[in-house]
Amino acid sequence: MFEYAPAPESRSIVDIRPSYGLFVDGDFVDPEDGVRFKTVNPATEEVLAEVVAAGPRDVDRAVAAARAAHETRWSTLPGRERAKYLYRLARIVQERSRELAVLESIDNGKPIRESRDVDLPLVAAHFFYYAGWADKLGYAGFGPDPRPLGVAGQVIPWNFPLLMLAWKLAPALACGNTVVLKPAETTPLTALAFAEICQQADLPPGVVNIVTGAGETGRTLVEHPGIDKVAFTGSTEVGRQIARSVAGTTKKVTLELGGKAANVVFDDAPLDQAIEGIVNGIFFNQGHVCCAGSRLLVQESIADDLLDQLKRRLATLRLGDPLDKNTDVGAINSSEQLQRIRLLSDIGEQEGAERWSAPCELPDRGFWFPPTVFTGVTQAHRIAREEVFGPVLSVLTFRTPAEAVEKANNTPYGLSAGVWTDKGSRILWMAQRLRAGVVWANTFNRFDPSSPFGGYKESGYGREGGRHGLEAYLDV
Ligand code: NAP
Ligand code: MG
């Protein structure tokens, strides 16, 4: 092992204003009844900017702007005209991708390698993909002339701030809806940068409105009588509240909630590749991934070898400055999330699982948690059942394929799963039996805008991405 010289990405490319307003009707405006709060860099705890927690009157105003834009302009534009705006947004995202990647890493704590190579390319790809659909909706299988729903209220989490914005906005706009979007409390800055991009693209005022804030702003938006559609990504607990609050209304809802994915490794799997897949499955984005492979199910006969090799690999992961291009593991997004990861990990130990953490030095300031593996985990342990949403892997073993299926499906969630084996027939056999929205074979955490994504059971309902993703924004 040799030491790497620091290779920090310069942050001079981003220009963070000391204070931001809300983005309503094409302009940044001061709040009417909102209050200001600060957003920090989770790697240093440095205050980055002040943003608004929008109040009910602010949300009202944004919804009214979205309604007016929908009726007077956006829904009457031919699809090919909407497509031009979406292509323009996609191209500006590409042009400004370095700046947006740096900003995302500063506000979220994720390594620049990931924001630069994963988040930003996927954001642009998503807008390009749905731009392509805007003038072809009549061929999507929803009738010859499917109509938009109207105004969409969208609430997103902090783990992939700009990517979740793209997942929400691109299909909504392509279908002719207008939007009020609330980014997460801890990661508002790239959404506000995107608001500037809307101005740069000359998007008609009111088509996209961004109201920053915390949970209360989200609740106000979701419960607002002026919206026709709710799209939410976040915790199952909040998803349940939302389902309850829209029950009995005419609002259409999609919920993309938590997960506790099984990553199943058979004894004939290519071990080196599987190790990389396990690492990518749970330590990508500090494990702040709803579809993370947080439960490793490994065939008993290879478990010891695999764990030795996995720990050797984890000892080489580099944790630290998210802006360093060599960093593999960045900061935990908030002190609340860090508390939650610590609590569940402590409970894992108390319940009898064996804890191992990669030997890495944690910086003094900021929120950090080392890559951690629990062995001797049983299906009843809380770390095997609950979403930790952090860099924590629970390892269980199995002997037969049937046992693997049973254990993999023994969860209230059903968002994703992974299968590692040399046999194509076994992949198909497993994929048919796993109750998960996505099943990856000999890979993990791969995303593409043309591929639908979504859950079974407590992981939510509705699909995002692909042709399927259009349905959630059309009156069908
Ligand atoms: P969360 O509370 O569900 O937050 C998701 C989004 O919903 C945020 O924008 C949040 O605002 C907003 N929100 C909170 N309460 C709301 C309400 N009553 N009505 C409408 N919107 C509301 O998730 P979290 O607190 O960030 O994380 C908690 C746990 O959720 C994590 O530990 C993890 O297990 C899970 N999670 C899952 C995903 C996923 O992609 N499936 C993503 C994030 C978290 P604020 O952020 O401003 O509070
Ligand atoms: Mg929250």
Average pLDDT over residues 133-141: 98
Per-residue exposure over 76-112, b if at least 16 CB sit within 10 Å of its own CB, e if not: ebebeebbebbbbbbebbbebbbbbbbbbbbbbbbbb
Inter-residue contact 263 to 295 (CB < 8 Å)? yes
Inter-residue contact 90 to 449 (CB < 8 Å)? no
Q: What is the DSSP string of 137-171?
A: GGGTTS-SSPPB-SEEEEE--SSSHHHHHHHHHHH
Tell me, using a 6 A CB cutoff, whether residue 158 lines ligand 1: yes
- 188-232 pLDDT, tens per residue? 999 999 999 999 999 999 999 999 999 999 999 999 999 999 999
- 248-266 pLDDT, tens per residue? 999 999 999 999 999 999 9
- Topology of the domain comprising 262-441: Aldehyde Dehydrogenase; Chain A, domain 2 (3.40.309)
Residue with the smallest CA separation from ligand 1 atom 30 is 235
Query: What value does the mean pLDDT of the chain take?
Result: 97
Q: What is the pLDDT of residue 1?
A: 62
Inter-residue contact 150 to 229 (CB < 8 Å)? yes
Domain covering 22-257+459-471 in this structure, CATH number:
3.40.605.10
Tell me, using a 6 A CB cutoff, whether residue 328 lines ligand 1: no
Average pLDDT over residues 394-421: 98
Separation of alpha carbons 68 and 148, rounded Å: 14
Distances (CA, A) of 11 to 8, 15, 161, 320: 9, 9, 18, 16
Residue 3 has pLDDT above 90, yes or no: no
Tell me, using a 6 A CB cutoff, whether residue 181 lines ligand 1: no
Tell me, using a 6 A CB cutoff, whether residue 234 lines ligand 1: yes
Index of the ligand 1 atom closest to the CA of residue 386: 34
Separation of alpha carbons 125 and 332, rounded Å: 27
Prediction pTM value: 0.98
The confidence band for 321, taking pLDDT boundaries of 50, 70 and 90, is very high
- 51-95 pLDDT, tens per residue? 999 999 999 999 999 999 999 999 999 999 999 999 999 999 999
Q: What does the chain come to in residues?
A: 476
Q: Is 330 helix (H, G, I), strand (E, B) or coil?
A: coil
Where along the chain do its domains lie? 22-257+459-471, 262-441
Enumerate the active-site residues. 256, 290
Strands 22-24 and 27-29: antiparallel
Q: Copy the structure tokens of residue 330.
A: 């960045």
Residue 431 Cα to ligand 1 middle (Å): 29
Instruction: Provide the 10 A C-beta neighbour count for residue 263.
Output: 28
The confidence band for 2, taking pLDDT boundaries of 50, 70 and 90, is confident
